Amino acid sequence: MIRQVWTRRQLLMRGSAAFGGLLLGGCDRLSRSPSFLRLLGGAEQLTYRAQRLIVGQALVREFNESDLSPIFRSNGTADPNSEHYNRLRAADFADWRLTVRGLVQRPLDLSLAELRAMPARTQITRHDCVEGWSAIGKWTGVPLGAVLNTAQLLPDARFIVLYCADELERNDGGYYESIDLVDAFHPQTLLAYALNGRMLPVVNGAPLRLRVERQLGYKQAKYLMRIEAVASFEGIRQGRGGYWEDRGYEWYAGI
């Protein structure tokens, strides 16, 4: 019988291969553990606080017409295609209203014409998808802060939740997002009704979408229907403040 003797080198190579395999298998198992993911998610608070401290109220860079993406890519829902949305769309959104509710003194129901009559802001900014790509577009809209000042927030209000007309999956309750008041009152945070000088196309969120320029694409809620001022996310869907947040993504998407 031949006795197999491992040389040091073989032992080292096989040992490290086995160790590596165990490590990676372990990492995969940890990736399925909600409590471990919550631990890793602690870094989000660090990022949020660090960025609020360093970034403050700074504005994002605004670009020139010559920097525009030839085609502004659409992602997520390209057409909500619900009965309700199709009816609004057929009438060029004349019957659409943005309802403002929650912790406000004056609940509002704003038509597109009323929003267009408010002082507008136009900005050419970069849109960054969580997937990694970027597109540059020219947005025109009403600063969200102006709408909130009209509605007059109550002292308890801490977040603005935005509800949308689209569902990414059937009966998911609809897309929604939320931001804090620092971002809500940021001068570049808009309720945008135009892209590149034209009415907002349906693929990009007609009739109204959010632009919150210092965060990633999934925060830029499209097909807005209702905004609500709240004190916390408790009782709102899974309580994490957004559609993708309920599916494991960071609520603070500044990175």
Partner 1 sequence: MHLMQRRRGRHYNAPTAPLGCPYMQKPEIIRRHSLATRVLHWINALSVFLVLMSGLQIFNADPHLYWGQFGASPDRALLSVGAHGFPHWATLPSWQALAAGRRWHFFFAWLLVFNSCIFLLVSFVSGHVRRDLLPSRAEIAPSHVIRDIWDHLRLRFPRGDAARRYNVLQKLAYVGVIFVLAPLVLATGLTMSPGFDAACPWLLTLFGGRQSARTIHFSAAMLVALFIAVHLMMVILAGPWNDVRSMITGRYVVPRGRPP
Q: Which is nearer to partner 1, 88 or 136 (CB)?
A: 136
Helix (H, G, I), strand (E, B) or coil at 206: coil
Of residues 43-62, those binding partner 1 (CB under 8 A): 43-44, 46-47, 51, 54-56, 58-61
215 binds partner 1 (CB under 8 A): yes
Q: Is the dihedral of CA 201, 202, 203, 208 positive or negative?
A: positive
Which part of the chain contacts partner 1 (CB under 8 A), choosing from 100-108, 111-119, 122-130, 156-164? 122-130
Q: Please check whether residue 74 is in contact with residue 166, taking contact to mean a CB–CB distance below 8 angstroms.
A: no
Burial of 71 (0-12, 13-18, 19+ CB in 10 A): exposed
Q: Is the dihedral of CA 185, 224, 133, 203 positive or negative?
A: negative
Among 63, 150, 196, 203, binds partner 1 (CB under 8 A): 63
Among 120, 129, 146, 203, binds partner 1 (CB under 8 A): 129
Helix (H, G, I), strand (E, B) or coil at 199: strand
Least separation in angstroms between residue 190's CB and partner 1 is 15
10 Å Cβ neighbour count for 73?
14
Contact residues for partner 1, defined by CB under 8 A: 8-9, 12-13, 23-24, 27-28, 31-32, 37, 39-44, 46-47, 51, 54-56, 58-61, 63, 67, 69-71, 73, 126, 128-136, 213-216, 244, 247-250, 254-255
